[in-house]
Structure 1
Amino acid sequence: MESGRRTYQEVTRWLDYQRFYPTWLRSDVDDAPAEEWWRWRGLDVHLDRLAAPDAPVKLLLLHGAGGYGRMLAPYARMLAHLAPVEVLAPDLPGYGLTRGDRPVAYPEWIDCVADLVAAEQARDGRPVFLLGASMGGMLAYSVAATVDVAGLVVTCLLDPRDVTARMRMTRLPAIGRVTPSLLGPARPLDAWRVPMRWIANMGAMSNDPALTALVATDPSGGGNRVALRFLRTFLTSAPPVEPEAFTACPVLMTHPADDRWTPVALSRAFFDRIAADKRLVLLERAGHLPVEEPGLTQLGQAVSDFVS
């Protein structure tokens, strides 16, 4: 291992999430996804991989602003069990074990995932599906609009140009209402890192107070500090293709039905405009981070059917 790199055998906060999932989806340090490093634009990007060399397709799990790849390990385990698929989960720049000295812009997340898709396709030619969770949903949409993927799965789709969406994403509605006008002049402060929980509505991350508290205090995820450059470039971003022109691949939205952070109506405002073949599955009794039944089982079955 190169100097400065850490592993999830050393950074073990992710183990605290396991108790919120059924026993068969839990991991420990001896039974966890394989860890890899992928060099990208001077950064060492950490990847979790559940290898399945005989599977016909791959699935990339993309976290949002409160997560990281290893946090999604129970979902990776579920999908690898239910479908013939190889699963990868990167820690996107600035989160998890993917760290760097310079402030990252949101478009770099799009470029990073697009380049990872290309690298995985070049590796063995297998088609790649994307699954974006939370803020990762719009990230996955933007990647699917720019590179060739086999299919797109999202848990929600939030357009930061929509003031209503911004008001729900941010901790205080007033922040979401005025954010673009405030962050534009703040460009000289781009390198300043602020706790994500100051900005995002982390209190609605899940419907389980204990799980929400864990996410909000996890320094790899919801307790992370994020450069203002990232927040500014995300909250003022636009997708590369408007939904009415998106026909790149089929789309599945598996939206938690009891999402107290980003209600279904917010995502439908964008989803209903998508021109591609699409399907909506509501995860019953599930919160923003879906751990409840029957929503958790419905998520696995819907994604399994989609990629199969």
Structure 2
Amino acid sequence: MDVHILRAMRPDAPLRVLLLHGGGGHGELVWPLGAVLAGEGYDVLAPDLPQYGRTRVADPGRVRYQDWIDLVGDLIAAETERDPRPIVVFGASLGGMLGYDVAAGGARVAAVVATCLLDLAGDSAARRAASHTPALIRLLPLMTAASRIGVFARLRFPIRWVAPMARISNDPAVSHACIDDPRGAGSSVSLGFLADLMTHEVPAPENYRGPRVVLVHPAADTWTPPEISIRFARRIAARTDIHLLTGCGHFPVEQPGVDELAGHLRALAIDLVSGSDSPERAQ
């Protein structure tokens, strides 16, 4: 596997951020968030996860969601060995739960920032929000069974058939640009990956022993309603800060939410650098 990684290198920055895109995304697509992070003084790296962007894999049809978890964990380990500065994981969309999952598994990260937290296997509301049509949910048992058969598992479908990609932004022009991107939302996803994603059991938040989690959910998200993520976040056993980004859709690029996001990232950096990490929750 040849993993493509975008970087904004800040050698003097006390913290680094691993920026994770979601389904139908890639590093360049979420780089506006990377620019916000770099503007707040973070050293930033954004990988293209397998099946998306410029990352190359021998057989895309064999990629599973577990491969994403393994890749991110391995990347954190390699980056930590190369550079001892603390790493904050920032996950956009599906990348939010991916970051939580990796942190819960023991990866050496200083904090997890997520724009949403969707427990697709454990929350029916999350499954409904993530699915383009209710029929997809009803077909999930059949899809899961079929995904165990090699030839069917490798079948690939346009991601817009299975997820409501038109809601990625509240600006139709931005949504259409994403859908037309052959390296992102205009690409395909394998049945095996989809079944693995939809049935993956995330670590129970009540048993979470990882670092601080900061939810920065777009307040005007028409794809994944904020209450779904908030409900999950409130169950997390570690310190959890919950913020809503004013005026932002699922892909948070609108003001004043972007400035609010920058402020939350700035406050997090101050806390982490100073060693302040009280158990209080912020709402």
When normalised by structure 1's length, the TM-score is 0.83
Instruction: Look up the match of 1:20.
Output: none
Residues 235-274 of structure 1: pairs in structure 2 closer than 5 A:
235-239=198-202, 241-274=203-236
- Residue 155 of structure 1 is aligned with which of 95, 105, 115? 115
Deviations 1:142-197 (A, max 9, x none): 11112121000000000012122111101112323x24312122122111111000
Alpha-carbon distance in 2 for matches of 1:307, 1:283: 18
Instruction: Look up the match of 1:21.
Output: none
Alpha-carbon distance in 1 for matches of 2:32, 2:145: 41
- Residue 153 of structure 2 is aligned with which of 187, 190, 196? 190
Alpha-carbon distance in 1 for matches of 2:248, 2:49: 25
Q: 3-state DSSP class of the match of 1:136?
A: helix
Instruction: Look up the match of 1:208.
Output: 171
- Residue 56 of structure 1 is aligned with which of 14, 23, 45? 14
Cα drift, residue 248 of structure 1: 1.1
Gaps of 5+ in 2: 271-283
Give the conservation status (yes or no) of the 8 Å contact 1:151–1:307.
Answer: no
Alpha-carbon distance in 2 for matches of 1:129, 1:116: 13
Deviations 1:223-268 (A, max 9, x none): 11111111010001011x2100113101100000000000011112
Give the conservation status (yes or no) of the 8 Å contact 1:129–1:307.
Answer: no
- Residue 92 of structure 2 is aligned with which of 130, 133, 152? 133
> 1:167 is matched by which residue type in structure 2?
R
Instruction: Look up the match of 1:16.
Output: none
Residues 164, 193 of structure 1: alpha-carbon distance in 2 compared, 3 angstrom cutoff: same
Alpha-carbon distance in 1 for matches of 2:16, 2:50: 21
| Structure 2 residue 250 is matched with structure 1 residue 288 | yes
Alpha-carbon distance in 1 for matches of 2:231, 2:139: 21
Cα drift, residue 269 of structure 1: 2.1
Q: 3-state DSSP class of the match of 2:2?
A: strand
Cα drift, residue 100 of structure 1: 1.6
Aligned pairs, how many? 263
Instruction: Look up the match of 1:175.
Output: 136
Instruction: Look up the match of 1:101.
Output: 58
Alpha-carbon distance in 2 for matches of 1:66, 1:295: 22
Cα drift, residue 74 of structure 1: 1.6
Give the conservation status (yes or no) of the 8 Å contact 2:230–2:242.
Answer: no
Gaps of 5+ in 1: 1-42
Query: What value does the CA root-mean-square deviation take over the aligned residues?
Result: 1.1
Give the conservation status (yes or no) of the 8 Å contact 2:20–2:99.
Answer: yes
Alpha-carbon distance in 1 for matches of 2:258, 2:36: 10
Identical-residue share of aligned pairs (%)? 44
Instruction: Look up the match of 2:103.
Output: 144
| Structure 2 residue 123 is matched with structure 1 residue 165 | no
When normalised by structure 2's length, the TM-score is 0.90
Instruction: Look up the match of 1:217.
Output: 180
> 2:266 is matched by which residue type in structure 1?
S
Give the conservation status (yes or no) of the 8 Å contact 1:257–1:282.
Answer: yes
